[in-house]
Structure 1
Amino acid sequence: AGSFPEVHALAKADPAAAGAKFGNPKKQANSPWTFAVRLKGKIVAANTQSRAATMDVDADGDGKADARVQIGPAMRGTALRDSLDFIQFNDFTNQIDFAQFGKAFNIHAD
């Protein structure tokens, strides 16, 4: 994982370069990059009304949110699964199995 400011800046300027440096090199060709980052900052907002709770983090000290972090207990999406370079779509029988693994991985991480 790279630092959030470094990965974010490079991803905005050149997504392919950011993917080559910080992304999963084994991703499917047509899928978007998923980056693992280290984030430090101040929590500026939290939404805990939903089971898919989030917090907004100011990473650069300007008082505005730079990143939104899922804090659960329900985790949406497949970013955790897709950031792993040792798990690939072709390792599964079909798309349903791959999706079920992603859901199970989110539950385990929570």
Structure 2
Amino acid sequence: DKMVEDIWASKVIPYLVQKAGPLAEVQALAKTDPAAAGAKYGNPRKQTNSPWTFAVRVEGKIITANTQSRAGTMDIDVDGDGKADARVQIGPAMRGTALRDSLDFVQFNDFTNQIDFAQFGKAFNAYA
């Protein structure tokens, strides 16, 4: 928790603001050239057997919101066609490790073991 708190404002937020691209732009590039999309919007130092994790900006109209679950989400129409183009976690419980995995300055080898790396991911979700 302390490690996340120490880097959140100074490293995480500036990195994501700089790295994130508009959803449609990231999707289009990822379809035509995943490596280029990864270099521009993702974490190019991921393990070769891992899928890319891209940082995106989503702006649009909320179509639905699931607030019944602690792992709440909202579906967003980005292109104005009335259909959801993205699902965004709104919590309070956050699932997955996308936030941790999108950061190129956080690497598995920086941790003692897989358990510590997983706990760091959970700390990101709790902080977010």
10-19 vs 83-92, greater mean Cα deviation: 10-19
Q: RMSD of the TM alignment (CA)?
A: 1.0
* Larger helix fraction of residues: 2
Distance 1:48 1:9 in 2: 30
> Could you tell me which residue of structure 2 aligns to residue 108 of structure 1?
127
For residues 71-98 of structure 1, give each alpha carbon's deviation from its aligned partner in whole angstroms, at most 9, with x where no partner exists: 0000000000001111100000111110
Structure 2: runs of 5+ lacking an equivalent: 1-19
Report the number of matched residues: 109
10-19 vs 64-73, greater mean Cα deviation: 10-19
> Could you tell me which residue of structure 1 aligns to residue 109 of structure 2?
90
Deviation at 1:21, TM superposition (A): 2.0
Distance 2:72 2:32 in 1: 30
| 2:42 maps to 1:23 | yes
4+ aligned runs moved over 4 Å, structure 1: none
> Could you tell me which residue of structure 2 aligns to residue 73 of structure 1?
92
| 2:57 maps to 1:38 | yes
67-76 vs 19-28, greater mean Cα deviation: 19-28
26-35 vs 51-60, greater mean Cα deviation: 26-35
Normalising by structure 1, we get a TM-score of 0.94
